[in-house]
Structure 1
Amino acid sequence: MSTLVSSWAKKVQAVPASYIQPKEKRPEDTAAPVCKDIPVVDLARVEGHDRYEVVQTIMKASQDFGIFQVINHGIPGELMNDTMSLFKEFFDMEAEEKAVYYSEDKTKSFRLYANPYSPKASKVDSWRDTLHHSCHPLEEKIQSWPEKPARYREVVGTYVLEVKNLSLRILDLICEGLGIELGYFGDELSKTQQFVVNHYPPCPDPSLVLGINGHYDSQILTLLQQEAYGLQIFNDGKWVGVEPLPDAFLIGINDQLEIISNGKLKSTFHRAVTNTSIARTSLASSIGPSWESIIELAKALVSESNPKLFKPISSKDYFDIYMAAAGGSKVSALETLKL
């Protein structure tokens, strides 16, 4: 059997044993109730009298859920559709064509792979294939990206630049909400960008598998484009679904932003489920600091009434702790840094 799920999933009538989750991790209800309270932020409003209200909505959503969705964000719908269509075309290619890009070498700037979320924590395979792109510096990294389907480098290169610019706009709004200087997250704290495409083929029994195990994201901020339902977050002691909105981006608070905000913004525990009828493809762009950067509470936030909650740590050291904990319980790796 091919390693890539997309190469054989349509041919099986039952879930292979290596993909069956232990009972305590199985999604009891793959169509968990959709959370209706996750805010949808209209970024067109930030240029007018509603800016303060928009910033406060972002802050409250980041505290209560760790996610929110944005519309009228400035990224052309045509570019979003072209990029999504391109990746659907990629995963529909013949197995032999995709196999050329398969690699388990994590140092590669571009690779296609299929594996559990955390091999250290789980022996169960995840029902997905993943494309990983390193994006900084783009002019260098893009040379390792595929040239097939046609216009791959052109379309994806344009897309990741647009998404990073949107990430920085949102981080400036978060700066306003936190009361720290605009541009705080520029340069070193947003130096790296990872672009990950997850593809979840239809599954004969979604109640037995997970596309991605429950986990937190380790960086500063993640922007997600999705068309089909599959994302769930753990909120108020239960899993709830996140409804995908046309032409919207879902914004996710990551662990290192929780550290910098001193716990005012919350990284959220989330997972992906599958379905029996359609393939789901999601596009996730995460920005974060260089390995050498020290992640700590923004100095402007320090006061007697707001003492540090977390020990400072380099981005690389935090990632090592994060990977050791990933795929385990709902206890965040951040717990190890609490003062």
Structure 2
Amino acid sequence: MVHQDQGKLVQVVAANVGLVAPPSRYMLSEENRPTTVAQQAKLVIPIVDVSRLAMPDDVEEAAKLRSTLQSWGLFVVTGHGMSKEFLNEIPEATRKFFHLPLEEKQKCGNVIDGVKFQNEGYGIDRIDSDKQILDWYDRLWLQLQPEDERRLQFWPHNLRDLLHEYTLESGRVTMNVLKAMAKLLN
């Protein structure tokens, strides 16, 4: 059985006439709040050009990857070969989904028959207790990999082809990075 508030989407709560601030259930105490954008802006995440990693004589980019993995463990990828237009299609298609009427979005809902919650689909995160702090967003969570475990009934029709193509392209980029990492490890 799901929690009684599981079906209260943020869109519905926010539409409440007279609501001037998120309900206390959505307020995180000051000490538990994440760092601000201004604090995060001081961090400079390393950038690695994947196209350069593919060049056998580019020892500089390989050294940057090694250093980045040893110090940060993450990096921004450039030179991945995906066009800016293609990458811009994904947030645009997602925006279109979130601007659909609620009834349309709920066709991809993550609560089944009002009794079974599952991560995949449109909705809010799982609610396990009355004291749980909730996130102020409705979300769409989709499993992309492995492909044979995709549950397309939760995928909006306007996103299916685009996400499939993005997953293939991301897999290609991932393999290029993994090859470069393997080369670093001999």
- Give the direction of change, closer, same or farther, for the CA distance of 1:33–1:101 in structure 2 (3 Å limit): closer
Could you tell me which residue of structure 1 aligns to residue 91 of structure 2? 84
The whole-number CA distance in structure 2 between the counterparts of 1:43 and 1:84 is: 23
1:87-132 CA-to-partner distances (Å, cap 9, x unmatched) read 11111112222122221433x7x4123126x958x81112233222
* 1:114 alignment partner, one of 100, 111, 124: 124
| Unmatched tracts of structure 1, length 5 or more | 180-339
For the residues of structure 2 that align with 1:80 and 1:65, how far apart are their CA atoms?
25
Q: Given the two structures, how large is their TM-score scaled by the length of structure 1? A: 0.44
Residue 4 (structure 1) aligned to one of 6, 9, 15: 9
Which residue of structure 1 aligns with residue 163 of structure 2? 156
1:224-261 Cα deviation digits (max 9, x unpaired):
xxxxxxxxxxxxxxxxxxxxxxxxxxxxxxxxxxxxxx
Corresponding residue number in structure 2 for 1:103: 110
Deviations 1:160-208 (A, max 9, x none): 11112211221222222233xxxxxxxxxxxxxxxxxxxxxxxxxxxxx
Q: CA RMSD in A?
A: 3.0
SS at match of 2:38: coil
Distance in 2 of aligned mates of 1:172 and 1:9? 47
Larger Rg: 2
* 2:35 is equivalent to residue 25 of structure 1: no
CA distance in 2, matches of 1:96, 1:86: 18
Higher relative contact order structure (alpha carbons within 8 Å, sequence separation ≥ 6): 2
**Larger relative strand fraction:** 1
Secondary structure of the corresponding residue to residue 41 of structure 1: strand
Task: State the distance in 1 between where 2:12 and 2:82 align.
Answer: 32
Distance in 1 (CA, whole Å) between partners of 2:23 and 2:43 is 35
User: Which residue is equivalent to 1:172?
Assistant: 179
Give the Cα separation in 2 of the matches to 1:9 and 1:165: 40
1: CA distance, partners of 2:27 / 2:179: 42
Structure 1's 113 and 178: CA in aligned 2 closer, same or farther, altered over 3 A? farther
How much has 1:8 moved relative to structure 2?
4.5
Match of 1:135 in 2: 144
- Report how many residues are paired: 173
CA distance in 2, matches of 1:93, 1:71: 33
Contact 1:142–1:153 (CA under 8 A) maintained in structure 2 = no
Match of 2:132 in 1: 123
More helix by share: 2
**After superposition, what is the alpha-carbon deviation per residue over 1:44-81, rounded to whole angstroms, capped at 9, x for unaligned?**
32243653222221222222222211112112222211
Instruction: Identify if the C-alpha distance between structure 1 residues 58 and 119 changes in structure 2 by more than 3 Å, giving closer, same or farther.
Output: farther
Partner of 1:75 in structure 2?
82
Which of 51, 55, 80 matches 1:48?
55
Task: Determine if contact 1:103/1:113 at 8 Å carries over to the other structure.
Answer: yes
CA drift at 1:18: 0.7
> Structure 2: any 5+ residue segments left out of the alignment?
112-116
Decide whether the 8 Å contact of 2:26 with 2:133 is kept in 1.
yes
The whole-number CA distance in structure 2 between the counterparts of 1:66 and 1:140 is 28
Distance 1:64 1:10 in 2: 45
Q: Is the CA contact 1:7–1:94 (under 8 Å) kept in the aligned structure 2? A: no
CA-to-aligned-CA distance 1:276-317 (integer Å, 9 cap, x gap): xxxxxxxxxxxxxxxxxxxxxxxxxxxxxxxxxxxxxxxxxx
| Counterpart residue identity of residue 132, structure 2 | K
Task: Tell me the alpha carbon deviations over residues 8-47 of structure 1, each in whole angstroms, 9 at most, x when there is no partner.
Answer: 4476421211111123212463432413532111223224
